[in-house]
Amino acid sequence: MNLSTRAPVQWRRPLRNWLERGGIYPSERPPFDPFPTVSDVISAHFCPVAILHRLLHGIELSPGLIAQRGREGAGELYHSFIAFLKSSITNGRLRPPSLGMIRQEFLRFGGDPAILAEIWRSYLEPWSRNRLSELAGISQGERMFFEVTVASEYVPFRREGQTLTYPLRGVIDEINLDRQLIIERTIVGGPDDQEPPESEARQLWLLWKILSSIRHDNFPRELSEVDFSNFHLVVETPFRPFPVDKQNREFEEEVHDAYTWIRDLTLNPRSIPAAYDNQRCELQPGLQCNFMYSVCRRRRFQYPRARPAMHQEFRHWYRPLLWELIWDWHLLQYKLLRLPTNTLEEEGWAVRANVASFLSQDMVELEIVREEETGPVLAHMQDAGKCELIFGTPFVGQRVEVALQEPRENRFVVRTERRYILMSNSTLILPDITLLESRPWYLTRNVQRNMFRFEHLGRENPATAGQDSLVQLIEGLFGARVLRRERSNGSP
């Protein structure tokens, strides 16, 4: 492979006063760089075209993992079930689990029985079989936390003797405090593998780099005494665990390139041709990649004829949608890490609350610390439908989406999909809306993705195309067909 090396960039973070209300007017191109996730960096490192599609077209495929048809979402189910299973063991509900018991629990976990059976057979059965003794050894009350989000504005990476820092955020599948383990779990891999999947090992290393860069006073109280430098890193496939070395000089050097691609593609339309010039499958024939057939080499239809004109309109929308996301979501990530909690509260970006009680597996009763905020929080939740809670701190914490279930006097009950142990009884409630009080930010990615798909719809056969209203709508909007508001005999 011969990807061109790009000059490392000095990451532009927002100025302190921009983070406060009224500090900056959000419009057009943000004057700061995005707050990337570990997956962004892994994608950018794999192939610049993969990160191009991720940033501009909302396509969040993992490039290295070849998804089998019908198994989309399998990884998520796999992760959440293992978190649920282990939590059930530590809280004493399941002891000691047998293979049959685990299978029963999984089939009851929810979802299409045929898909569950397939996931069981392919991933969970081998995982369970290989872990039975480990599961039996889990003691009640063992301190393990699942889906822990870690974020840092200044993660250091060395390059040619100097150190550059970048912001980075990601989710650790499992932290086990008692066994001093940090685990990255994946469904990728086969029974005979001798090495962990490359991107998972790098992902785990990046997560550990984030964790190591966070000052201890930013840890939740429950973790404040923990020294993560002694923890072992493990990538766990369904078939076996692989230890991962904390020293990764080669990748440490290469990370800078990934950040440069992220910055360039975010800001500059001219970087798109450069990304295609460095497309990995062109330079490395025979490479297997998730984007190859579903995105990069998709079929190009004859009709609509007006597709080039449509593209001229569409191409002006992709990057503004990304910038919108940066103003909405990425800026909030900087705020959460940089502003003290009381400023976040004063500015209305977060509200502190305590867990009053766990009513059931998915119902939590919350009490807001500043009582006068209860009314506004309730009104917001009724309006937006849901909120995000951070159990822990914005640096190290479990981020859980909740929906309002029932308002009570000065308290309220929320419903959550999480089914694992929470690391803290104190939480920050974040509003689930954009800067402009309108819509949840995450919908922007769906719009990017589906707009990109719309741009590529079409028909090959002229007769079929002539009867296809979507194709003809495109011809009407961008081509030779005439759009009319009504039939001409409807006019007076």
Question: Please, which of residues 356-375 interact with another protein by CB under 8 A?
Answer: 372-375
What is the residue type of 141? G
* Contact assessment for residue 62 and residue 198, using Cβ atoms and an 8 Å cutoff: no
CA–CA separation, 297 and 397 (whole Å)? 40
Give the number of other Cβ atoms within 10 Å of residue 299's Cβ: 8
| Min CB(346)–another protein separation in Å | 7
* Contact assessment for residue 290 and residue 63, using Cβ atoms and an 8 Å cutoff: yes
Q: By CB under 8 A, is residue 303 in contact with another protein?
A: no
Q: By CB under 8 A, is residue 315 in contact with another protein?
A: no
Q: By CB under 8 A, is residue 308 in contact with another protein?
A: no
User: Which of 347, 365, 388, 401 touches another protein by CB under 8 A?
Assistant: 347
Write the secondary structure of 109-141 as one string of H (helix), E (strand) and C (coil): CCCCHHHHHHHHHHHHHHHHHHHHHHHHCCCCC
| Min CB(264)–another protein separation in Å | 19
The angle formed by the CA atoms of residues 326, 20 and 40, to the nearest 5 degrees, is 25
Span 96-125, contacts to another protein by CB under 8 A? 111-112
In the complex with another protein, the residue whose CB is nearer, 182 or 402, is 402
* Contact assessment for residue 187 and residue 74, using Cβ atoms and an 8 Å cutoff: yes
Helices of type H across 191-330: 198-213, 249-267, 271-277, 280-283, 291, 307-325
Residue 38 buriedness (CB in 10 A; 0-12 / 13-18 / 19+): buried
Stretch that binds another protein, among 7-15, 179-187, 273-281, 448-456 (CB under 8 A): 448-456
CA–CA separation, 96 and 124 (whole Å)? 17
Span 387-446, contacts to another protein by CB under 8 A? 403, 429, 431, 433-439, 443, 446
In the complex with another protein, the residue whose CB is nearer, 198 or 455, is 455
Q: By CB under 8 A, is residue 490 in contact with another protein?
A: yes
CA–CA separation, 354 and 344 (whole Å)? 17
Q: By CB under 8 A, is residue 451 in contact with another protein?
A: yes
Stretch that binds another protein, among 95-103, 185-193, 234-242, 345-353 (CB under 8 A): 345-353
In the complex with another protein, the residue whose CB is nearer, 214 or 265, is 265
| Min CB(26)–another protein separation in Å | 4
Span 456-485, contacts to another protein by CB under 8 A? 457, 466-470, 472-473, 475-478, 480-485
**x-marked contacts with another protein along 157-176 as a string, rule CB under 8 A:** --------------------
Q: By CB under 8 A, is residue 323 in contact with another protein?
A: yes
The angle formed by the CA atoms of residues 243, 245 and 249, to the nearest 5 degrees, is 155
In the complex with another protein, the residue whose CB is nearer, 12 or 29, is 29
| Min CB(143)–another protein separation in Å | 32
| Min CB(412)–another protein separation in Å | 12
